[in-house]
Amino acid sequence: MTIIVTGGAGFIGSNFVFHMLNTYPDYRIVCLDKLTYAGNLSTLAPVMDNPKFRFVKADICDREAVNTLFEEEKPDMVVNFAAESHVDRSIEDPEIFLKTNILGTATLMDACRKYGIKRYHQVSTDEVYGDLPLDRPDLFFTEDTPIHTSSPYSSSKAGADLLVLAYHRTYGLPVSISRCSNNYGPYHFPEKLIPLMIANALNNKLLPVYGEGINVRDWLYVEDHCKAIDLIIHKGRVGEVYNVGGHNEMKNIDIVRLICKELGKSEELITFVKDRKGHDMRYAIDPTKIHNELGWLPETCFADGIKKTITWYLENRAWWENIINGEYQNYYERMYKDR
């Protein structure tokens, strides 16, 4: 089995690469990544010399590069993590999100149609559903929840999802989609909430929290997400959407306070900043479908997962410090200049 993993130098994609190589030693995993600001090739250093792994630097919007890779590898599956994913950046510059997240998805699926594929899997987000009110804890996102996006980012992901389902209906492309709640864990890019708070706290810097910090997110440890995608691409039904959630709802401010406590830092570092435009209030996933059909359940409770995550950042300071100072962007040149 050969699987192309796009965006595999990013947070969730790299964890998925590690999971697949560890779980299926006979599989060939090919990582295609443009190495934008959020792609970090040094993350993949532990597997770069694995004979079952190949890294290719390319843009999923580059039709010629994508077709060349498909011609060379003749993949059985494609798992698409490649995306512009930071909401704040999408508010500042929507165009790149539309290009990468929608047109890039179309380019990949056209290659899948041309060269044949057993499964194309689109990694999406619960943000396509919009948000839920804080005063209705009984409400959850299901696969039948209407799409109701709030940001250019979530709109671009919703557009890609609809395109994926259209390719299935129109061309018979064997597809699946997963919509996951917020992930956390190792290799999380340090502009996101949890790694940003850990890094800032360790450096005794202010901890910026949007608004009053009352926004609620459903947190899932990244390894549990990878296991869910593994199940979907092997056993999930073609043409289906699967919600993946952790039933670990937490207010942002409570997470920041927990990080302060775990690191022995004063909550006086917390500073409230102007809220994000169109900020969603609450996300909450109902994962009943994937549990009933595929037997998936999250294995890591938040109390354990956040401790594991903090420990990882403590033990891997060089990884995130290189990102903060920009040094990680030179890693690709160092890795490949003599090859």
Q: Is 331 a catalytic residue?
A: no
Q: Is 242 a catalytic residue?
A: no
Write down the pTM of the prediction.
0.93
Give the active site residue among 84, 127, 218, 224: 127
Q: Is 153 a catalytic residue?
A: yes
pLDDT of residue 90: 77
pLDDT of residue 36: 84
Q: Encode pLDDT of 54-101 as tens digits.
A: 999 999 999 999 999 999 999 999 999 998 866 777 788 888 889 999
Q: Encode pLDDT of 50-60 as tens digits.
A: 999 999 999 99
Least confident of 39-43, 52-56, 166-170, 233-237: 39-43
Name the amino acid, one letter, at 30: V
* pLDDT at residue 212 is higher than 50: yes
pLDDT of residue 329: 62
Give the active site residue among 126, 223, 280, 286: 126
Give the active site residue among 153, 187, 313, 331: 153
